[in-house]
Structure 1
């Protein structure tokens, strides 16, 4: 088993419950961690034998472009697509952070983290 991380995917989009969040948008950061058997790719040096991090980045950006009221919702969509599209992933953890959230205080970011294991 091995781990692949794609960290600090930066996206500007419009998630949130407030009407003004839909209009003005915010900056977000997405981090993805997947667990998979990487022994074959370590031996063969062939891309199709691993989890392509370009694919993970594409999933994150596409799902972040679809408006959600809650960060949990968009993170779950990212996880669902990872499991649907990349069969070798055994576990995925996705964090989505809203940078400088409009919550009436000096807060750098709010972050949610979801994890899921593939059922055998």
Structure 2
């Protein structure tokens, strides 16, 4: 299936299991793959045949900069659900949420949660 990718979306949010994380906040990086049929958009050159990725960015920003959650897995789920709700052409989505400042007592490169969801899985 065709897809549109948005990578390196950076936001400041207040998510985490530790109280310091929810009070001080930290940076989160989101990567998306939006699976949809792009043939009509490619043939017609019409924005109405695809998704406006500027609006997708706003949708993701609202989630990450919104209400606090404890887990990046939960944050990824909320992003997927909100994107599906706002953009009916999207049939599947990959969401990766990176937490570069995770409170790990040691040297590490990165921590991220990856999910893949299908629209048909929504209740």
Shorter-normalised TM-score: what interval?
Answer: over 0.9
The count of residues paired between Structure 1 and Structure 2 equals 120
Question: Could you list the runs of 5+ residues in structure 1 that have no partner in the other structure?
Answer: none
Residue number in structure 2 paired with 1:70? 71
Question: Aligned residue for 2:28?
Answer: 28
Aligned counterparts of 2:20 and 2:112: Cα–Cα separation in 1: 20
Q: Which runs of 4+ in 1 moved over 2 A?
A: none
Report the Cα distance in structure 2 between the residues aligned to 1:116 and 1:27, rounded to whole angstroms: 24
Give the structure-1-normalised TM-score: 0.94
**Secondary structure in structure 2 of the residue aligned to 1:89:** coil
Which whole-Å CA distance do the structure 1 matches of 2:85 and 2:23 have between them? 31
User: Is the counterpart of residue 84 in structure 1 residue 56 in structure 2?
Assistant: no
Matching residue of 1:97: 98
Secondary structure of the residue that 1:104 maps to in structure 2?
A: coil
User: Residues of 1 paired with 2:109 and 2:15: CA distance?
Assistant: 17
RMSD of aligned residue pairs (Cα, Å): 1.3
Q: Deviations over 1:49-93 (max 9, x none)?
A: 101111211111100012110111111111011111111111001
* TM-score between the two structures when normalised by the length of structure 2: 0.92
**Structure 2 CA distance for aligned equivalents of residues 82 and 12 of structure 1:** 19
Match of 2:53 in 1: 53
